[in-house]
Amino acid sequence: MKWYPYGHDFGNAEIGGVTVINGKIQSLSLPTAFSKVDTTAMRNLGIKLDQSNVHIIQFYEEESAYALGDLALEQSLDVYHGRGDIQRYSGKYSLRGLLTIAATLIPDTEFGIYVVTGLPAETYIKNSALRSAIKAALDGTYIFTLNGSQTMRRVTVEVATVVMEGAGALIAYGDKGSNRTESAVIDIGGRTTDLYVARGQVPVTEYCKGKPLGVERATQMVMDAFENKYDRPLSLLEARELMHAYAAQGEKPYPEVSSYGTAISKFELERLVKEGVSQVGSEIASFVAAAWGQSDRDAVAASFKPVLNIGGGVYYFYTFLKQRIPHLSRPEDPVHANPLGYCNLAGRLLMRKTQASPSSSAV
């Protein structure tokens, strides 16, 4: 059985996974959304389950199948997100997300994954027991099917370690040259902004903080403003499409949205999104300045090098932070920055384990 290094990121808004297959990095992220589905009924309705946007997992010992990501949002109003539940990191939904993405990326019918995952800085510091709970919840061998297939998949999971979110990004993109200065990460996700500072790979805990500010706050502001103005609610899918169009900066069209038969212009939709993003962006910039004890515009985080901005929130809030932190940088793939670093670390740890036990096979 082959073993693969794997980075697992169970975020509030996105579940990310990164692995290496034949020397090439493979990654995938899905919205953090789960719902029970009936695959037979879906087929009867003409829904093709072998499409790239379909992600359904069913454990061998369970009667229910679960859709993940956009399909979950489309198929059900009763969707599990796990937001605000710290224990979700050590729950069955995290395992479902891990196995679904891993088995989508890795074609083998049977394989093992050596996993590194992360926790938000404050959760990691204050709740050490959760790290052991994550390993206990995820470790094991699992038999399941994907997307209604008759082919059983058998995957063995072993959690190598749990680190602070932000550490992954520094492993992947940080300055390897010096351990004398602090490196920093501003990780903006769907629900939270997490700050991580380390000297080398040792966290400087006084600067590692988090706050519930993220893309979802801006999204909710857009939904509230839309309902107040047009007297009808935006669906979550409509709101997500508006936000994604804004983040794409012209590369993706705004969705057609109407109110009681009257189409709403792209310019008005963009204005609503921009207003929400601007307010939340200003709040995030103020939080970073306060958390890192800086008030002078040119001095914010000046001693931290590099300062990386990662997470899906980069596409919305990077410019606000760049105004306050001129040497702020963003990786090419900010969404997978953490799991990429996790995967790199998992690869090193798997190599050590393989060398200590030559009977294991690693990719």
Report domain extents, the chain.
2-164+337-362, 179-330
Q: Does the structure show a pLDDT above 80 at 75?
A: no
Nearest Cα neighbor of 331 from 166, 212, 197, 193 is 166
For 88, the 3-state DSSP assignment is helix
Q: How far is CA 53 from CA 28, 56, 67, 68, 78, in A?
A: 11, 10, 11, 10, 20
Q: Any alpha helices (H) in 208-252, and if so which ranges?
A: 215-230, 236-247
CA pair distance 319, 274, nearest whole angstrom: 13
User: Cβ atoms within 10 A of the Cβ of 297, count?
Assistant: 11
**In whole numbers, what is the pLDDT of the chain averaged over residues?**
90
Question: In one letter, which amino acid is 201?
Answer: Q
pLDDT of residue 298: 46
Helix (H, G, I), strand (E, B) or coil at 35: strand
Beta bridge partners, 203, equal 198
Alpha helices in the chain (DSSP H): 39-44, 70-75, 92-105, 121-126, 129-138, 167-173, 215-230, 236-247, 266-291, 314-324, 337-356
More confident: 317 or 84? 317
Query: With 70 as the cut, is the pLDDT of residue 188 above it?
Result: yes
Instruction: Identify whether the C-beta of residue 116 lies closer than 8 Å to the C-beta of residue 161.
Output: yes
The pLDDT value recorded for residue 319 is 95
Name which CATH class applies to 2-164+337-362: alpha beta
Cβ atoms 94, 17 nearer than 8 A: no
For residues 262 and 236, the model is more confident at 262
Average pLDDT over residues 133-152: 96
As a whole number, mean pLDDT of residues 26-39 equals 93
Contact between 340 and 29 under an 8 Å Cβ cutoff? The reply is no
pLDDT for 307 beyond 50: yes
CATH number 3.30.420.40 is the correct assignment for the domain at 179-330: yes
Q: pLDDT band at 137, cuts 50/70/90?
A: very high
Overall average pLDDT of the 283-292 stretch:
93
pLDDT in tens, 111-133: 999 999 999 888 898 899 999 99
Min mean pLDDT across 98-112, 299-313, 318-332 is at: 299-313
Half-sphere exposure of 237 (CA within 13 A, CB side): 12
153 with 143: CB under 8 angstroms?
A: yes
Cβ distance 215 to 189 under 8 Å?
yes
Q: Which has more pLDDT, 357 or 192?
A: 192
Give 354's pLDDT tier (boundaries 50, 70, 90).
confident
- Backbone φ and ψ of 45, nearest 5°: -85, 0
pLDDT tens-place string over residues 311-348: 999 999 999 999 999 999 999 999 999 999 999 999 99
* pLDDT for 301 beyond 70: no
* C-alpha span between 245 and 231 (Å, rounded): 23
Q: Which residues contact 110 (CB under 8 A, 6 or more apart)?
A: 1, 153, 154, 155
pLDDT value at 172 more than 70: yes
Q: What is the DSSP string of 14-28?
A: EEEEEEEETTEEEEE
The two tokens of residue 203 are: 């966290």
Quick one: tokens of 268?
């008005």
Whole-number Å distance between alpha carbons of 121 and 278: 25
| pLDDT number for residue 76 | 60
| Of residues 294 and 215, more confidently modeled | 215
pTM: predicted TM-score of the whole model, two decimal places: 0.89
Rounded to whole angstroms, the Cα distance separating 242 from 47 reads 25
- Assess whether the region 2-164+337-362 and the region 179-330 belong to the same CATH fold: yes
Compute the distance between CA of residue 244 and CA of residue 65 in angstroms, rounded to an integer.
Answer: 28
Distance between CA 112 and CA 5 in Å, rounded?
9
DSSP state of 334: G
Backbone angles phi, psi at 278, to 5 degrees: -65, -40
